[in-house]
Structure 1
């Protein structure tokens, strides 16, 4: 059975031995069995998406780390969605996007947030002020109380991170 020797075989063994434990750990963390099951599923799906084989010395510590990242991504997504819905609520009903447009916009916002993840807040703000609000570099510099040269550096940094994230996708 040469096909069983790949990375998915390792994940199958990891799932068989530790899924129930991970589900319990997630339930203790968030208190809902349904969400815990979804997050455990997402944790193993993230592992299945990897192309390289896993070399795991401490399976539960490894799963905890991956699950915490999945959970953090979920919380970030929910926070982003809540902020988006609050922004929509302040707009007149006639200008509200359709459900399809809302879904596309939320997915796009989440994608941008993922691509900018790890950058300092001020770099993200400068990038979003330029891209979403259409502010000039001078306006951003004034609003953030930094130099135009620093704004340029921030925009290049964020733009580079987005570009390379796109090329890896």
Structure 2
């Protein structure tokens, strides 16, 4: 079904925002998070449309919004997993070595940005890169830990570094 509302992001927002928020709430169980992720979904559409404007009406706006919202939801869960892993790592640290709240927030934000930069790379490439950059391991140690050759470690680190370079 095509309507004038499917010709613009504003129209999609006005007609389908409540529906999308309810759809997300049914998956998250939290109305506040659902509202935030619905807004994030429309923000993603706005930023994408600045690059590629809508030329034709969207025939199935709810299906379209669901697809975009699923990606936003996936990123939300990925951020939660990353934050949980970071907090677990902090809990393992002796109290005198643990960073203050301000530094924790900065570190977590940096980790989220790094995760976004490396998004799309194979897990083993990300892991090798993090072992080098965060853990400070050398090529040989990474190769031994991952059970791969030195040449493969070099290729993985180069691939991750190039992703970061071109993303910036």
Both proteins in one fold, TM over 0.5: yes
Aligned partner (choices 41, 46, 51) of residue 43 of structure 1? 41
Matches within 5 A, 1:73-152: 73-152=75-154
Secondary structure of the equivalent of 2:129?
helix
| Alpha-carbon shift at residue 58 of structure 1 (Å) | 2.1
Moved more, 105-114 or 60-69: 60-69
C-alpha distance after superposition, 1:104-160 (max 9, x if no partner): 100100111111111111111111111111111111111111110111111111111
Matches within 5 A, 1:43-82: 43-50=41-48, 51=50, 52-54=52-54, 55=56, 56-82=58-84
| Alpha-carbon shift at residue 25 of structure 1 (Å) | 1.0
TM-score for the superposition, normalised by structure 2: 0.89
| Alpha-carbon shift at residue 81 of structure 1 (Å) | 0.7
Gaps of 5+ in 1: 1-8
Secondary structure of the equivalent of 1:134?
coil
C-alpha distance after superposition, 1:18-47 (max 9, x if no partner): 111111211121222111111111111222
Gaps of 5+ in 2: 1-6
TM-score for the superposition, normalised by structure 1: 0.88
| Alpha-carbon shift at residue 72 of structure 1 (Å) | 0.9
Secondary structure of the equivalent of 1:146?
coil
Structure-2 separation of matches of 1:34 and 1:146: 45
Indicate the residue corresponding to 2:3 in structure 1.
Answer: none
How many residue pairs align between the two structures? Answer: 158
Structure-1 separation of matches of 2:100 and 2:9: 40
CA-based RMSD of the aligned residues comes to 1.3
Indicate the residue corresponding to 1:3 in structure 2.
Answer: none
